[in-house]
């Protein structure tokens, strides 16, 4: 019974991966772009991305999805499972715009992150500022796609395998945003509290049922064994300490991820010097 209750409690906090818009290059969660604009931008971004062998993406969100400003762009890149190429070697560049908060930033990852450094990402941010500050959403997306292609070409980009020295980021962090994890936890907290209370109540009932003596007793005879009391004496003498060490080779062939999505590393991301407010 206790095992079943523990299993039910643990299952409440297994966070499922959200369904993302697979195959999309321009994603608008806000309804800012018209359907025709969205289709046109997606077709253009897909054509250029396939020709460059590098995903070029734009995501419009209402807010920061629970990320800090510094985490926002890279967080969305992972959360939406972006990147051209293999599972372990995605490549892409993203413009992330939090429309209601008036904030945006760009990030490049993998092979694209090696071609586009901080100065290039700052240039991409500068190029779309005038569009975003005047509410020209289509112009901002279109300009970013063109400028990303230009900078990739100017900096000699080519798709190749990148080797990372740091471990892969946990798939639980990759597949969910901070806001999704928070809401999932809060929604299940009352149920978890009820299960914890029921488990505690059950354990106390079991313990109470095993008690042989309940209530006050004027005699200590109930606590004395019929055979009497026997005391043993043990003596430990300290003579020294022995340490044994065994070398465990590191496994460098592990993918470090799961769930069928891309594997990401913190060192694979190239960041701007900071996002912009518009």
Confidence band, pLDDT 50/70/90 cuts, at residue 239: low
How large is the average pLDDT for residues 103-127? Answer: 98
How large is the average pLDDT for residues 35-56? Answer: 98
- Dist CA 96 CA 202 (whole Å): 50
Confidence band, pLDDT 50/70/90 cuts, at residue 209: confident
Confidence band, pLDDT 50/70/90 cuts, at residue 210: confident
Residue-level pLDDT at 62:
97
Residue-level pLDDT at 175:
82
Domain 19-170+260-277: CATH architecture, name and number where available? Roll (3.10)
| Per-residue DSSP letter, 91 | B
- What integer best gives the mean pLDDT of the chain? 82
Which of the residue ranges 5-14, 19-28, 101-110 has the most confident prediction, judged by mean pLDDT?
101-110
How large is the average pLDDT for residues 206-211? Answer: 73
Residue at token pair 């959200």: 18
The 10 Å CB-count burial string (b at 16+, else e) for 151-177 is bbeeeebebeebebeeebbebeebbbb
How large is the average pLDDT for residues 193-219? Answer: 71
How large is the average pLDDT for residues 159-179? Answer: 88
The fraction of the chain above a pLDDT of 70, given in percent, is 68
Q: Where are the domains of the chain?
A: 19-170+260-277
Query: pTM above 0.85?
Result: no
Residue 251 has pLDDT above 70, yes or no: no
Q: 214: buried, middle or exposed (CB in 10 Å: 19+, 13-18, 0-12)?
A: exposed
How large is the average pLDDT for residues 97-115? Answer: 98
How large is the average pLDDT for residues 25-37? Answer: 97
Residue-level pLDDT at 27:
98
How large is the average pLDDT for residues 190-213? Answer: 74
Q: For residue 82, give the nearest of 257, 273, 264, 265 by alpha carbon.
A: 264
**Greatest CA separation for the chain:** 94
Q: 12: buried, middle or exposed (CB in 10 Å: 19+, 13-18, 0-12)?
A: middle
Residue-level pLDDT at 195:
82
Partners of 55 in beta bridges: 92
């Amino acid at each position: 019974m206790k095992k079943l209750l523990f299993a039910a409690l643990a299952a409440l906090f297994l966070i499922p991966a959200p369904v993302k818009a697979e195959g999309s290059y321009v994603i608008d969660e806000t309804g800012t772009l018209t359907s025709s604009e969205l289709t046109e931008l997606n077709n253009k971004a897909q054509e250029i991305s396939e020709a460059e062998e590098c995903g070029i993406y734009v995501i419009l969100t209402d807010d920061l999805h629970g990320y800090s400003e510094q985490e926002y762009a890279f967080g969305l890149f992972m959360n939406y499972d972006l990147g051209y190429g293999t599972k372990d070697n995605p490549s892409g560049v993203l413009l992330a715009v939090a429309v209601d908060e008036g904030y945006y930033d760009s990030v490049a990852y993998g092979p694209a992150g090696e071609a586009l450094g901080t100065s290039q990402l700052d240039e991409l941010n500068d190029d779309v500022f005038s569009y975003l500050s005047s509410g020209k959403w289509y112009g901002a997306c279109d300009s970013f796609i063109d400028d990303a292609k230009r900078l990739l070409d100017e900096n000699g980009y080519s798709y190749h395998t990148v080797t990372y020295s740091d471990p892969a980021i946990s798939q639980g962090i990759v597949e969910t945003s901070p806001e999704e994890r928070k809401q999932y936890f809060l929604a299940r907290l009352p149920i978890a509290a009820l299960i914890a209370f029921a488990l505690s109540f059950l354990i106390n009932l079991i313990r109470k049922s095993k008690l042989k003596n309940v209530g006050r007793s004027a005699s200590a005879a109930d606590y004395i064994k019929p055979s009497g009391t026997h005391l043993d004496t043990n003596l430990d003498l300290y003579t020294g300490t022995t340490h044994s060490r065994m070398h465990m080779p590191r496994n460098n062939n592990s993918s470090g991820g799961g769930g069928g999505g891309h594997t990401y590393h913190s060192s694979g991301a190239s960041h701007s010097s900071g996002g912009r407010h518009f």
